[in-house]
Amino acid sequence: MNEYLIIVLTLILSAFFSGCEMAFFSSNKILLELNKKKHPIPARIIDRFVQNPGIFLSTILIGNNIALVIYGLQMAKLIEPTISQYVESSIALLLIQTTISTLIILLTAEFLPKTLFRIHPTFILNIFAVPLMSFYLLFYPLSRLTMAVSDFIIKKLLRTKANTEQANWMLSKVDLNNLLTEHHEKSDKDDEGANEIKLLKNVLDFSKLKIRECFIPRTELQAIEVNDDLEPLRQQFMDTGLSKILVYKDSIDNIIGYVHVSSLFKHPKKLRNIVSPISIIPETMTANKVLELFTKEHKSIALVVDEFGGTAGIVTLEDILEEIFGEINDEHDILEHIEEQINENEYRFSARLEIDYLNEKYAINLPQAEDYETIAGLILFHNQSIPEVNDIITIEQFTFQILEASSARIELVKVSLASD
């Protein structure tokens, strides 16, 4: 057989084995499980590989090494006559042959196939399942012999306990997260399953969520001094429509508890008589820990403090659940948050709206950073001061016009995108 043809075939085989090895270890376990009904024959073959990963890997390595040995012999036979005309030293001849052969192998049978097969590993395994099974059966006796020799060396000579138990095909959180991310990026926002995928992603990301990313900030708190009369408290409940109002002593940094609106039906004589204690948590605490705290204490509100012990804000059960299920709107939320698309390049947003939410809903790609979560945070981060009404601030390709603001915070902004 022509040397060129043998070299090409051995390179293809080596690339096949190297790529399939990468695809096997890069594949998403959950996606493989889901494809069992869609591709039953490849799924059964892949499942057999999964149940015997040691034998499978041994088969891949044996096939790859056989291909490389044949390639090396044929390559030497092909290039030696040409190189020997210019190089007399046998050592130099060997080095040149090895260098050329190695470079070709690394490019065509290692880097390239492993990179390509890693892009869609599950798809690759389904396509090449039958050819892989053929080599699996062909090299099975040699693979078993190789495994037996390896076990003997490990156990008897190296005195190490080999793991001969069947590999556990565990479905990890990373596998599920990768699968959901892939489907979320491909799915249409109007797709029926898009919301379910987003919900599952929110659940997976929940353990990493910090309270400072979802709490109600200090500037938006409704509170009353503990020595005030009951009438201002009643009026505050009526004006805000809230069910709970914080109670402080002397300063907002000294929150001592909260009052539930239902406590007023007990006809208390003093405000301090109906104050309920409130849990205090740091703003770095994770949301799942706070949810556990709420469940354990049968509470739905906690005081969030900063690193200096000052009041940073509060977090409620609703705030935490919104991070999983999305916005839970009531009549007060509707009045508080404004989001309106004026035209193709102009929007009107409440400054408290989160950038993640707006980017996902309107696909406007507002700048994101760990230093802020909302539009107000974005503006303050770049402007370094609270702007006044009608001030115009430019950040990258966005122009922010302040529509409503107070001395302490930004309320409403108009966002304009620079036209192309």
What are the φ and ψ backbone dihedral angles of 178, each rounded to 5 degrees? Answer: -65, -40
- For the chain, what is the largest distance between any 2 Cα atoms, rounded to a whole number of angstroms? 110
What pLDDT band is residue 201 in, cutting at 50, 70 and 90? Answer: low
Conformational region of residue 280, where left means phi above 0, alpha means psi within -120 to 50, and beta covers everything else: beta
**Total structural domains within the chain:** 4
What contacts 346, CB < 8 A, 6 or more positions away?
414, 415, 416, 417
> Which residues lie across from 246 on neighbouring strands?
223, 258
Q: Give CA 251 to chain center in angstroms.
A: 40
Q: What is the pTM of this model?
A: 0.48
Distance CA 177, CA 31 (A): 11
Contact 410, 380 (CB under 8 A): yes
**Mean pLDDT comparison of 207-216, 228-237, 328-337, highest-scoring range:** 228-237
Q: Is 238 in the same domain as 99?
A: no
Q: Is 342 in the same domain as 362?
A: yes
Q: Is 403 in the same domain as 310?
A: no
Q: Is 141 in the same domain as 14?
A: yes
Q: Is 142 in the same domain as 185?
A: no
Q: Is 199 in the same domain as 295?
A: no
Contact 240, 263 (CB under 8 A): no
Instruction: Say what the pLDDT of residue 276 is.
Output: 93
Distance CA 243, CA 139 (A): 72
Contact 245, 254 (CB under 8 A): no
Whether residue 327 has pLDDT greater than 70: no
Token pair of 348 as six digits = 């009107």
Distance CA 417, CA 397 (A): 6
Instruction: Please give the residue range of the domain that contains residue 379.
Output: 337-417
Q: Give CA 282 to chain center in angstroms.
A: 24
Instruction: Say what the pLDDT of residue 188 is.
Output: 54
Q: Is 314 in the same domain as 225?
A: yes
* Average pLDDT score over residue span 329-353: 77
Q: Does any domain span residue 330?
A: no
Report the CATH number at residue 259.
Answer: 3.10.580.10
Q: Is 218 in the same domain as 289?
A: yes
Token pair of 130 as six digits = 């039958």
Whether residue 334 has pLDDT greater than 50: no
Q: Does any domain span residue 332?
A: no
Question: Tens digit of pLDDT for each residue in 91-121?
Answer: 888 888 889 989 999 998 889 999 999 888 8
What contacts 139, CB < 8 A, 6 or more positions away?
58, 59, 62, 63
Whether residue 197 has pLDDT greater than 70: no
> Kind and range of the H or E element at 402?
strand 398-405
Q: Is 76 in the same domain as 123?
A: yes
Instruction: Say what the pLDDT of residue 160 is.
Output: 65
Q: Does any domain span residue 162?
A: no
